[in-house]
Structure 1
């Protein structure tokens, strides 16, 4: 894959909205990350098609925006330097909205792993080791919520900590699952 700049949350949100897609930006990014952990760079075309499967109206540069997101994500994971940026609302958005998007992101990641797992003929690596722990932890994160009792500083600190945990976990899953990626080209990188 070539180089690309990752589009921001608002750009992806606008593309999805203008196309009539019902998906959440964070969720589709999480889904792609799960798919790419199993399928490698080959995940992008099927992922873009699945995002727009529910609509016939792909807004303007919608396909290119998602392809840029996929390329930037693949490059960050493949470089292995913990450079993955989760597609989440900006820091100016309310904490509750950011936390909800974080839950959607984790939900999408687990869905992507599951879809990639099915396509990969059920490799047992998903049921053991780091990946199993990540799935369990992400499942808990999807159910977590920030309460009104938490101070803003406590909530922000927890959000930053969870976001960093997710970033590192995805990189670890990507590294652990390198043996199950479908593309022979992907296997040559590791």
Structure 2
């Protein structure tokens, strides 16, 4: 049985949210920490002031127009590939809460054991199509290597689409490279 997507807001409300988001991008902007991204955004016509980037609404809309209306994210297990778009609804876990609780235990900082257990739970729940980011931050892992352990765990404990990320270019490159190796594909394939 197929259901239409839930409409949480009216078309007018959606348009108001859209216009407000364009205004925030134009007037407030976004802080970027990567020098390459700052140069590329300046070259594309954005207003770059230090780390703050402001986006012309017309530029934003011209870039949005280039995005595909749908695409597929490929999982290690092809049965778990995710089709995005075309009114397909996808459910993910929450990403990166710092705390965890449950089974009569008080709220506490997340750790690697919690992270691994939540990955396993996300793997077996059919209602969760993929685990988005870290289901809890494994705070017991030093930030300089957290992404390596977290990516390894995601790639070995789940056959769903991996959502890897971190807060620096090199750490993201590390996670993408680990994913490439785990998938057994060449650099050209992962670059596509």
Task: State the TM-score, normalizing by the size of structure 2.
Answer: 0.27
Structure with higher Rg: it is: 2
Which of the pair has the greater relative contact order for Cα pairs under 8 Å at 6+ separation? 1
Choose between structure 1 and 2: higher helix proportion. 1
Task: State the TM-score, normalizing by the size of structure 1.
Answer: 0.28
Choose between structure 1 and 2: higher strand proportion. 2
